[in-house]
């Protein structure tokens, strides 16, 4: 849709397009084309996966973001609700099983067959091992499930961004278009045993920000400047030759 919009725009005028990807937001659902590659991986564990929060504040010790204790089994780890019931696993959040059913309920029979061909063996092994798994083994299993599905989902974002960059290049728009790749926040990928985003440690506080504009930014440039998302608007207005309103918060991003 974004590419079609650029194709059909008024080509006599500059354009501004916000192209958003929602896929990595929970509950994540990897594209079928990426299932096998990522579920066969073993993802390295962060050093703080088993953080005991001993020297941290009360908020860190009580935050409901621990992969082992608080992550959804069905929605996040893709354990079928029927298998949860069979193994005596309880929902942590009331929408856990519903998220699983809603996500997989979108699939056609052929898509569901492809999904089951990958996940059924994973769940069969889990069913066999679960009764004898220690809490540490369960944490490791849940971390791998989390990361495999998350990275499989993010791979589809890479696909989409790549298509957009290729389109701009093929149509002579890559040299004079400012491309900003960013996010609404950082994300925990097992650091401190956490998933999600709701705590202001380094991993969640830092937000991805990549800017490409060959006319003014040499390739490979990096900056240690502090930036917030409220700096984006005045910077883009300045590039567009528009006077930045005096009451607009934020600063111009400089090279």
Co-location of 39 and 151 in the same domain: yes
Co-location of 133 and 253 in the same domain: no
Co-location of 53 and 174 in the same domain: yes
In 96-223, which ranges are continuous DSSP H helix?
96-105, 109-129, 135-170, 202-205
248 belongs to a structural domain: yes
Residue pair 48/191 in contact (Cβ under 8 Å)? The answer is yes
Co-location of 145 and 253 in the same domain: no
Residue pair 223/162 in contact (Cβ under 8 Å)? The answer is no
Range of the domain at 229: 223-255
Co-location of 147 and 233 in the same domain: no
Q: Note the pLDDT of residue 22.
A: 84
Instruction: Walk along the chain (255 residues) in steps of 10 and give the mean pLDDT of each run.
Output: 96 93 87 95 97 91 94 96 97 93 94 97 98 98 97 95 97 95 91 91 89 92 90 92 92 72
Q: For strand 179-182 and strand 209-212, is the pairing parallel, antiparallel, or unpaired?
A: antiparallel
Domain's final residue, options 178, 210, 233: 178
Residue 201 DSSP SS3: coil
Q: Note the pLDDT of residue 255.
A: 47
Q: Note the pLDDT of residue 225.
A: 87
Q: Note the pLDDT of residue 198.
A: 84
Co-location of 145 and 45 in the same domain: yes
47 belongs to a structural domain: yes
- Domain total in the chain: 2
Q: Note the pLDDT of residue 200.
A: 82
Q: Note the pLDDT of residue 26.
A: 86
Total-model pTM: 0.92
Co-location of 119 and 232 in the same domain: no
Co-location of 172 and 248 in the same domain: no
Residue pair 142/67 in contact (Cβ under 8 Å)? The answer is yes
88 belongs to a structural domain: yes
| Beta-carbon contacts of residue 43 (< 8 Å; ≥ 6 apart) | 143, 144, 147, 148, 151
Co-location of 88 and 171 in the same domain: yes
Q: Note the pLDDT of residue 170.
A: 97
């Amino acid at each position: 849709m974004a590419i079609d919009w650029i194709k059909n725009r008024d080509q006599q005028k500059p354009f501004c397009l916000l192209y958003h990807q929602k896929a990595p937001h929970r509950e994540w659902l990897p594209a079928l084309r990426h299932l096998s590659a990522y579920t066969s991986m073993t993802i390295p564990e962060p050093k703080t996966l088993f953080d005991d929060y001993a020297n941290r504040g009360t908020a860190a010790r009580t935050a409901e973001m621990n992969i082992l204790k608080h992550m959804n089994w069905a929605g996040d780890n893709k354990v079928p609700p029927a298998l949860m019931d069979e193994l005596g696993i309880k929902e942590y959040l009331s929408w856990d099983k519903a998220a699983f059913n809603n996500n997989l309920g979108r699939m056609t029979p052929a898509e569901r067959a492809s999904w089951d061909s990958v996940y059924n063996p994973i769940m069969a092994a889990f069913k066999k091992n679960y009764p004898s798994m220690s809490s540490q083994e369960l944490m490791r299993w849940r971390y791998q499930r989390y990361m495999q599905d998350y990275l499989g989902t993010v791979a589809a974002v890479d696909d989409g961004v790549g298509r957009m960059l290729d389109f701009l290049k093929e149509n002579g728009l890559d040299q004079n278009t400012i491309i900003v790749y960013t996010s609404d926040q950082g994300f925990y990928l097992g650091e401190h045993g956490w998933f999600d985003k709701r705590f202001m440690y380094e991993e969640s506080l830092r937000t991805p920000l990549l800017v490409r504009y060959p006319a003014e930014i040499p390739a490979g440039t990096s900056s240690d400047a502090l930036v917030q998302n409220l700096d984006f608007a005045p910077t883009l207005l300045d590039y567009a030759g528009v006077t930045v309103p005096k009451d607009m918060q934020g600063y111009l991003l400089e090279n």
